Amino acid sequence: MSCEARITDHEIVPTGELDDDSLSYTASSTDKAAALLALHAGGGFVVPNAWDPGSARILEQVGFPAIATTSAGIAWSCGVPDGEALDRDAMLEHIGRIVAAVRLPVTADLESGYGDTPDEVGRTVARAVALGAVGGNLEDAGRRGLFGIEEAVDRLTAARAAAPRGTFVLNARTDTYLAGTTGDAFAETVERAVRYVEAGADCVFVPGVVGNDTIRRLAAAVPAPLNVVAGLASTVDAPTLFSLGVRRVSLGGSLARAVFSTLERAGRELLDAGTLGFLDGAISYADMQRHFDS
């Protein structure tokens, strides 16, 4: 499923060369992967989530050091809900366009890997690498809830095999706080995080966690840099999250929601009053042209 007609029937040209299911990595991609990984060793960084080439270009020009994609924002821009309503081909097509639009490292939201088996997950990651993505999130939950921990580990192991360390920053996402668990969410999160790091994850993403004390305890217990999403269940600001030990703050679909909210309010004003108050503070046409004329 795609939200628009494909420009060509041919595959998107990869930045890496594919040969018998193996990848060779360009100096540019490995440099970007190293730069993205190095960000996790500092005091903390924010990675905003783009949903199309235009939003990616704007965020690059704002000055962020890296950009993530958002499956939610991409899905909404196509008029469908989040949660693999877009198939793998369609999602990768959008990711490829975002990667091609910017010079920054791009980490891709790959949902749960777009496959029922570890081999399929590995193929998804390999295709993302071929498009130039130098990182990616991989969720441990599907439509029926959390995967068993062994299954989740197998899927991550396949992802790591498809994209060796140093070429791709593998961000293992656990949905223990979003999907729910039968036991203690904190304990299961830490157990999964430990196993995921042993399977090759470079960092661990825990969306849905709230409470400063819980976040601080997680940052101390997880044996890798911790990624928390701001603007979802938690609205704690990035500096506070960094002070709690979080090293990576992402936004998920929050920026896309803000943009679509502005659009909805503008539409309501036009329909109800016919006025143009929504243009107060809007960027000018000339400035928009300058943003993209390079």
Largest Cα–Cα separation, the chain: 61
pLDDT value, residue 283: 95
**Least confident window among 7-16, 97-106, 150-159, 237-246:** 7-16
Provide the 10 A C-beta neighbour count for residue 194.
15
Provide the 10 A C-beta neighbour count for residue 105.
26
Task: Summarize pLDDT for 7-46 with one digit per residue, the tens.
Answer: 232 233 333 333 333 344 566 899 999 999 999 999 999 9
For helices 53-62 and 88-101, angle between their N-to-C axes, nearest 10 degrees: 40
- pLDDT bin (cut points 50, 70, 90) of residue 143 is confident
- Going from the N-terminus, what domains does the chain have, and what CATH number goes with each? 17-253 (3.20.20.60)
* Ramachandran sector of residue 65 (left: φ over 0; alpha: ψ -120 to 50; beta: rest): alpha
- Average pLDDT, rounded, for the chain: 91
pLDDT value, residue 2: 52
pLDDT value, residue 11: 32
pLDDT value, residue 27: 62
Is residue 33 within 8 A of residue 169, CB to CB? The reply is: yes
Task: Summarize pLDDT for 53-103 with one digit per residue, the tens.
Answer: 999 999 999 999 999 999 999 999 999 999 889 999 999 999 999 999 999
Q: Look at residue 116 and tell me whether its pLDDT is greater than 60.
A: yes
Is residue 248 within 8 A of residue 39, CB to CB? The reply is: yes
Q: pTM for the full model?
A: 0.90
For helices 88-101 and 118-130, angle between their N-to-C axes, nearest 10 degrees: 30
For 134, residues 6+ apart whose C-beta sits below 8 A from its C-beta are: 29, 32, 33, 36, 105, 106, 107, 167, 168, 169
Looking at residues 149-175, what average pLDDT do you find? 97
pLDDT value, residue 23: 41
Tokens of 169: 């920053």
Half-sphere exposure in the Cβ direction for 123 (13 Å, CA): 10
pLDDT value, residue 269: 98
Is residue 139 within 8 A of residue 179, CB to CB? The reply is: no
Residue 122 amino acid letter: G
Query: Pairing between strand 169-173 and 67-69?
Result: unpaired
Tokens of 28: 């540019």
Q: Look at residue 5 and tell me whether its pLDDT is greater than 70.
A: no
Residue 93 amino acid letter: E
Beta partners for residue 248, in sequence order: 45, 227
